[in-house]
């Protein structure tokens, strides 16, 4: 673990067999898990852990991610995961992530937008200064905007797979761990597509929370190089995403 500036943090990680797919490459869900982990380790390191944030009546909630992938690491590779709490304003915080190979080349890059959700009102709250000042990031008027997933093309042929939220999908707060959305979304694509294609770009927007025991449908359509995704709870959209793909190098 290396400490950089207060708003940056990095740590190394060995990719192991249960974090990879059948091509032996890190899964997107595990990439998110590593990005969330490095953020939490940074927060703990600065005394900004979950308990401290909760003591201010709020919890951090992610609303959007945008990932760009050059190459996913293989089982056995040691990688470096880095995050930066780059910018914030009254209501939104912008955080970046990097995944580096051992030789320093960038394997993946991520951007994310976070809000502070009030436990009392279940609505977005002003970000308490106490939970953001220790990063020593200067406030800004305008945050970078993340690309918003395009409107789902209803004319495309879609595939739908059903999922029941499992006990082991949920966090200590009773909500689904975000990483599971990525598995549901990609699992709706044909296995042969996943085996022969490499994810290049992934944009996801979270709209409504999913809870234990709920039934969701993962709806997907794809071309040779793009895919569109929705997680639905009945008529309610839980999340939407767009992905770009390239043929996988053998």
Binding site for a second copy (CB under 8 A): 16-18, 21-24, 27, 29, 33, 36-37, 40, 161-162, 164, 166-168, 170-172, 174, 177, 179, 183, 186-187, 189, 191, 194, 212-213
Question: Which CB sits closer to a second copy, 45 or 143?
Answer: 45
Among residues 16, 35, 32, the alpha carbon closest in space to that of 24 is found at: 16
Instruction: Compute the least distance from the CB of residue 126 to a second copy, in Å.
Output: 26
Nearest to a second copy of 50, 146 (CB atom):
50
**Contact (Cβ atoms closer than 8 angstroms) between residue 242 and residue 226:** yes
User: Strand, helix or coil at 121?
Assistant: coil
Nearer to a second copy, 89 or 173 (CB): 173
Query: What's the closest the beta carbon of residue 207 comes to a second copy, in angstroms?
Result: 22
Q: Which is nearer to a second copy, 139 or 162 (CB)?
A: 162
Q: To the nearest whole angstrom, how small is the minimum distance from the Cβ of residue 168 to a second copy? A: 5
**Of residues 56 and 175, the one with the C-beta less far from a second copy:** 175
CA 134 from chain center: how many Å? 23
Scanning the chain, the segments in alpha helix (DSSP H) are 28-45, 50-54, 179-187, 191-196
Residues 216 and 210: beta-carbon distance below 8 Å: yes
Alpha-carbon distance values, 135 to 41, 44, 130, 171, 207 (Å): 13, 12, 10, 25, 27
Q: From the CB of 48, what's the least distance to a second copy, in Å? A: 15
Angle between helices 179-187 and 28-45 (to 10 degrees): 170
Report the distance separating Cα 28 and Cα 99, nearest Å: 12
């Amino acid at each position: 673990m290396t400490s950089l500036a207060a708003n940056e943090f990095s740590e190394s990680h060995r990719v192991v067999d249960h974090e990879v797919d059948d091509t032996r490459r890190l899964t997107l869900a595990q990439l998110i898990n590593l990005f969330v982990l490095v953020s939490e380790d940074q927060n703990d390191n600065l005394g900004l852990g979950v308990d401290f944030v909760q003591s201010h009546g709020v919890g951090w909630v992610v609303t959007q991610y945008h990932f760009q992938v050059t190459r996913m690491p293989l089982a056995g590779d040691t990688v470096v995961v880095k995050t930066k709490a780059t910018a914030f304003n009254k209501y939104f915080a912008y955080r970046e992530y990097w995944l580096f190979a051992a030789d320093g080349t960038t394997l993946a890059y991520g951007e994310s937008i976070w809000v502070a959700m009030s436990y009392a009102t279940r609505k977005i709250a002003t970000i308490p200064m106490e939970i953001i000042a220790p990063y020593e990031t200067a406030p800004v008027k305008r945050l970078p905007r993340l690309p918003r997933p395009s409107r789902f093309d209803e004319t495309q042929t879609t595939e739908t797979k059903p999922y029941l939220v499992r006990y082991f999908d949920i966090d200590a707060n009773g909500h689904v761990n975000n990483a599971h959305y990525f598995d549901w979304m990609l699992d709706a694509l044909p296995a042969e597509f996943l085996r022969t294609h490499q994810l290049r770009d992934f944009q996801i927007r979270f709209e409504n929370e999913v809870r234990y025991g709920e039934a969701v449908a993962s709806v997907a359509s794809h071309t040779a190089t793009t895919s569109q995704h929705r997680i639905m709870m009945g008529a309610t959209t839980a999340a939407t995403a767009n992905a770009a793909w390239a043929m996988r190098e053998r």
